[in-house]
A and B are shown apart, each in its own frame.
Chain A
């Protein structure tokens, strides 16, 4: 009994760090500059497939493909924001902080990307088998797969890096300023639309970079995107908008909730618990979700 509990604990932390890695980019895109990127998981899916084919065709090791995938994701993210999302921001006034139009727009983008994914990559699940996939270590109560543990340090490192970027660099300050009041930022001479695109690109790149480390053990298919997106939103909101470390903690919490609940109830119920927590949080304590300031 204690063994299965400990295993659940470890699994929860591992899963939680996976969620954190996936949600990291969204924490920047949605948490900081308030772009409702409903296609987040699907963009990650595309970068995972890119890495998969780099591995399968060119025999580049999964961890090395990380940088390539990140670069491609950056370019793609920049383009998506600049071409497709920008018109809505041009149209909406600045006090509409998160325009609904962006949510529906990105849902449309999500539909396009995942369907194109199914057409190009076939709906069948693929997996990467590299030397890392099968390395294990025995820790007494269970045998742990090394590749599954990689996301943990990756999550911590990337979170620290992103937080540093946002809080301690000039670019990060500019990004946060734009996120808080884009009209005021524009009045200060900041090229707001470039910053939005840049941030979107960074968000995608960071997630692609971290997500790459999932490849050795996480089977991929073109439909995993939407599920990951929803998880990512749960984690970002739970952690508090704009708080990167909060997001990391939230990811681990969600992972633990899921793994510990699956000891007691069927697997998919665990997702249900996470969703219910999400609703409760945004209703009861949106902390980070600013309540509307009346005049």
Chain B
């Protein structure tokens, strides 16, 4: 459900850690309802870009505008209040809390009543098929379940933009199908998503727009078709086998 309204604009953003340039004047634009795939080799700066948007780092240069607000340098909780939620590459569940409680915390952002937040959490648990581990503590969950938990937490916050950092890493194909179904569903409900993923089939089937990041720069972007056929993408990330396989 793609609209023309531009809600996120990352413009000329740069971030360096000492001598290491992580993000090198990157641009990104996202429209309401869009589902963007962010791909690229390891170390390309994808997670750093997420951290910059979500407020964990302040950019050295450039601007980040979300729904009219300038969010570069804002604190993560203020960014979340404005409507951006993110997951973490290395999962960070609340270890003492059960799955339900984890997601409940996310829901409390817009629903201060614990009871109502709990029912929101229960619905999300059903949505993600986490019923079997609903009462298990974060410390007891397997990594794939932790990834699902994080996705659930972001959904619970009611945010308009979700930044998902490799939510399907480590999942088996049936679990990936489940996540894809959920993501398509919430995208259909109007939420925008930027997803970092290495599973190209998932990215192709899910995203309408792909951005390829390499060494902190946006190498190219376009429709899945355009990107995967571009020789630069093949050289930098996809590899010849992929090109051969898809032909």
> B89 at the A/B interface (Cβ < 8 Å)?
yes
Task: Please name all residues of chain B whose beta carbon is closer than 8 Å to the beta carbon of A295 when the two chains form the complex.
Answer: 47, 51, 56, 88-90
- The answer to the question of B57 belonging to the interface, with a C-beta cut-off of 8 Å to chain A, is yes
Q: Which residues of B contact A294 (CB under 8 A)?
A: 51, 56-57
CB neighbors of A among B49-73 (8 A): 51, 56-57
Chain A residues within 8 Å of B57, by CB: 294
Q: How many residues of B contact A (CB 8 A)?
A: 7
Please provide the chain B residues from 21 to 79 with a CB less than 8 Å away from any CB of chain A in the complex. Answer: 47, 51, 56-57
**Alpha-carbon distance A295/B51, docked complex (angstroms):** 7
Complex-state Cα separation, A294 to B47, whole angstroms? 12
Alpha-carbon separation in the docked complex, A294 to B15 (Å)? 14
B44 to chain A, nearest CB (A): 16
Q: In the assembled complex, how far is the CB of residue B246 from the closest CB belonging to chain A, in whole angstroms?
A: 33
* Contact flags A280-295 to B (C-beta < 8 A → 1, else 0): 0000000000000011
**In the bound complex, what is the Cα–Cα distance between A242 and B56 (angstroms)?**
28
Question: What is the 8 Å Cβ interface bit string for chain B, positions 119-140, against chain A (1 contact, 0 not)?
Answer: 0000000000000000000000
Interface residues of B, dominant DSSP: loop
**Smallest CB gap from B48: residue in A:** A295
Nearest CB in chain A to that of B56: its residue? A294
Question: Shortest beta-carbon distance, A182 to chain B, in Å?
Answer: 18
Question: In the assembly, what is the distance between CA of A96 and CA of B89, in Å?
Answer: 19
What distance in Å separates the Cβ of A295 from its nearest Cβ neighbour in chain B?
6
The minimal Cβ–Cβ distance linking A39 to chain B, given in whole angstroms, is 30
Residues of chain B from 82 to 116 with CB closer than 8 A to chain A in the complex: 88-90
CA distance A295 to B90 in the complex (A): 9
Residues A78-105 near B (CB distance < 8 A): none
Min C-beta distance of A61 to chain B, whole Å: 53
A152–B186 Cα distance when bound, in Å, is 70
Nearest chain B CB to A100 CB, angstrom units: 15
- In the assembled complex, which residues on chain A have CB atoms less than 8 Å from the CB atom of B89? 295
Residue of B nearest to A293 (CB): B17
Query: Which residue of the partner chain B has the closest CB to A294?
Result: B56
- Min Cβ gap B42→A in Å is 15
State the CA gap A295–B166 with chains docked (Å).
Answer: 14
Query: Distance in Å from the Cβ of A91 to the closest Cβ of chain B?
Result: 13
Q: For the complex, give the distance between the alpha carbons of A295 and B50 in Å.
A: 10
Query: How far, in Å, is A229 (CB) from chain B's closest CB?
Result: 32
Docked CA distance A295–B57 (Å): 9
**Complex formed: what's the CA distance from A261 to B89 in Å?**
53
Chain A residue nearest to B86 in the complex (CB):
A295
A295 to B52, CA, bound (A): 10
- When chains A and B are docked, how far (Å) is the Cα of A295 from the Cα of B56? 7
List CB contacts (< 8 Å) of B213-230 with chain A: none
B16 to chain A, nearest CB (A): 15
The minimal Cβ–Cβ distance linking A134 to chain B, given in whole angstroms, is 57
A294 vs B57: C-alpha distance when bound (angstroms): 8
For residue A115, give the distance in angstroms from its CB to the closest CB of chain B: 35
Q: How far is the CA of A35 from the CA of B15 in the complex (A)?
A: 34
Residues of A within 8 A of B51 (CB): 294-295
Determine the chain A residues whose CB is within 8 A of the CB of B56 once the complex forms: 294-295
State how many angstroms separate the Cβ of B23 from the closest Cβ of chain A: 14
- Determine the distance from Cα of A294 to Cα of B55 in the docked complex, in whole angstroms: 10
- Find the A residue at minimum CB distance from B51: A295
- The CA-CA distance from A146 to B57 in the complex, in Å, is 56
CB distance from B66 to the nearest CB of A (A): 19
Give A108 to B47 CA distance when docked, in angstroms: 43
Alpha-carbon distance A30/B203, docked complex (angstroms):
48
CA distance A22 to B51 in the complex (A): 43
A267 to chain B, nearest CB (A): 45
Closest A residue to B76 using CB positions: A294
Contacts of B88 in A (CB 8 A): 295
A135-159 residues at the B interface, CB under 8 angstroms: none
One digit per residue, 1 when the CB lies within 8 angstroms of any chain A CB and 0 when it does not, for chain B 223-247 equals 0000000000000000000000000
Q: Say how far B102's CB is from chain A's closest CB, in angstroms.
A: 18
What is the bound-complex CA distance between A294 and B90, given in angstroms? Answer: 12
Report how far A60 CA is from B15 CA in the complex, Å: 64
Complex-state Cα separation, A295 to B88, whole angstroms: 8
CB distance from B129 to the nearest CB of A (A): 27
Closest to B89 in A: A295
A294 CA / B77 CA spacing, docked (Å): 14
Q: Which of A238-295 contact B (CB under 8 A)?
A: 294-295
A interface residue numbers (CB < 8 A to B): 294-295
- A sample of 6 more A-B contacts (CB under 8 A), given A294-B51, A294-B56, A295-B47, is A294-B57, A295-B51, A295-B56, A295-B88, A295-B89, A295-B90
Could you name 9 residue pairs across A and B whose Cβ atoms are closer than 8 Å?
A294-B51, A294-B56, A294-B57, A295-B47, A295-B51, A295-B56, A295-B88, A295-B89, A295-B90
Q: Which 7 A-B pairs have the closest CB atoms?
A: A294-B56, A295-B56, A295-B88, A295-B51, A294-B57, A294-B51, A295-B47
